[in-house]
Amino acid sequence: MAEEPLGVALIGCGKITKKHVEVIRSIDHLRLAAVYDVDESRARSIADTEEGCRVLSGLDEIRRADDVSIGVVCTPSGLHAEHGGLLARAGKHVVVEKPMALRLEQADELIEVCDRFGVKLFVVKQNRYNRPVRKAREAVESGRIGRIFLGEVRVLWRRTQEYYDAEPWRGTWAMDGGVLTNQASHHIDLLIWMMGDVESVYAKGRTVAHDIEVEDTGVVLLKFRRGGLGTVQASTCIQPRDLEGSVLLYGDRGTIEIGGFAANELRTWEFIDEDPGDAMVKDEWGRNPDVFAYSHREFYLDVVETIEKGRHALIDGIEGRKSLEVINAIYESMETGREVFLRFEPRRGRLGLSQEQQPN
């Protein structure tokens, strides 16, 4: 670890930023050095709570911010790749909230520019650090669950119209995407991480209960290259409250169910070949510790370790791109009504396109 804390600049000061601020404050090896938002009052409200933190008057100032080592992109999704590229060109390591981009070509450009300027790229997929998820990954890697022939994702949440209206970019094709891009993308990432590369997707989506451009309900069938099948059910129309954010894995040697609101509760841990330690798994790995934003904190600790020790990041640009490619394929399938095989070139998908750019 470095003796001096790594300086961090937060780009974008919306709702999610508060969690980043709290986590950065809790880690000795990080220091919040600067913040920026197009609404200066938002940035000022954060800077005033952190000793030594200043407000950047413009993004170009990041080039002269010698005390900043890491830039964190928390702007609207449609700006993630652009702002990540700006940070990379300024020589800053890039932490970007999910999704890393909306279009695949934007993601590829971000990966390339980070490589060219010799900086690390980290995509915030904090649920990979949940203790139940880490234990499940261990069972997959060791082969204990066997061949996974079926996987499920269920993201059944409630979002009001007021949620979408709170920010003008929410629920738009150009800047956000729908339930599958926004709410379910973490869980889709986990399913791919457990089951491997996707061969094809077939999807249907509807706008059921909100005045938005994009889908608020979707169903997806996935075929994996290793032979397994997967399903995704996702909706922000659930009443009267959030129900679950779950990932289920069915292998020929066992079954794992990770439930809770955000894949943070180990509900099922059963195998043909029992282990003496199984009785204690739920006690030790069943939930995250009672620490604020535990998985985000673990993510940031991994960022520090990766930068200081020069090792490979758990969720770099290549890893972040995998779920983005699947999500783009999902939208291509929704538009064409056909099964879409990866790799593919998006032609009909509207994600990341303005009204003027959308295909006729």
Per-position DSSP letters for 332-353, written without gaps between them: HHHHHSS-EESS---SS--TT-
- Determine how β-strand 70-73 pairs with β-strand 265-271: unpaired
Q: Determine the Cα–Cα distance for residues 246 and 244; give it in Å rounded to an integer.
A: 6
Domain range list for the chain: 6-124, 128-290+322-341
Q: Rounded to a whole number, what is the distance in angstroms from the first to the last CA of the chain? A: 53
The whole-angstrom separation of Cα 181 and Cα 73 is 17
Of the chain, the percentage scoring pLDDT greater than 70 comes to 99
Give me the architecture of the 6-124 domain, per CATH: 3-Layer(aba) Sandwich (3.40)
Q: Does residue 85 contact residue 178 with C-beta atoms inside 8 Å?
A: no
Q: In what order do the strands lie in the sheet with 54-55?
A: 54-55, 30-36, 6-11, 70-73, 93-97, 121-124
pLDDT at position 91, please?
98
Please give the Cα distance from 257 to 251 (Å, whole number): 11
Which of 240, 237, 261, 244 lies closest to 159 in space, CA to CA? 237
Q: Are 231 and 203 in contact (CB under 8 A)?
A: no
The predicted pLDDT at position 360 comes to 73
The answer on pLDDT for 3 being more than 80 is: no
State which CATH number among 3.30.360.10, 3.30.110.30, 3.30.420.40, 3.40.50.150 fits the domain covering 128-290+322-341. 3.30.360.10
For residue range 122-170, list pLDDT tens digits in order.
999 999 999 999 999 999 999 999 999 999 999 999 999 999 999 999 9
- Torsion over CA of 74, 78, 81 and 87, rounded to 10 degrees? -40
Distances in Å between the Cα of 96 and the Cα atoms of 149, 152, 180 are 32, 27, 18
pLDDT at 175: 98
Strands 6-11 and 70-73: parallel
Query: If you average pLDDT over residues 195-206, what whole number do you get?
Result: 98
Q: Which residues contact 267 (CB under 8 A, 6 or more apart)?
A: 246, 257, 258, 259, 260
Does the fold of domain 128-290+322-341 match that of domain 6-124?
Answer: no
Q: Is pLDDT above 60 for 2?
A: no
80: helix, coil or strand? Answer: helix
Note the pLDDT tens digit of each residue in 67-100: 999 999 999 999 999 999 999 999 999 999 999 9
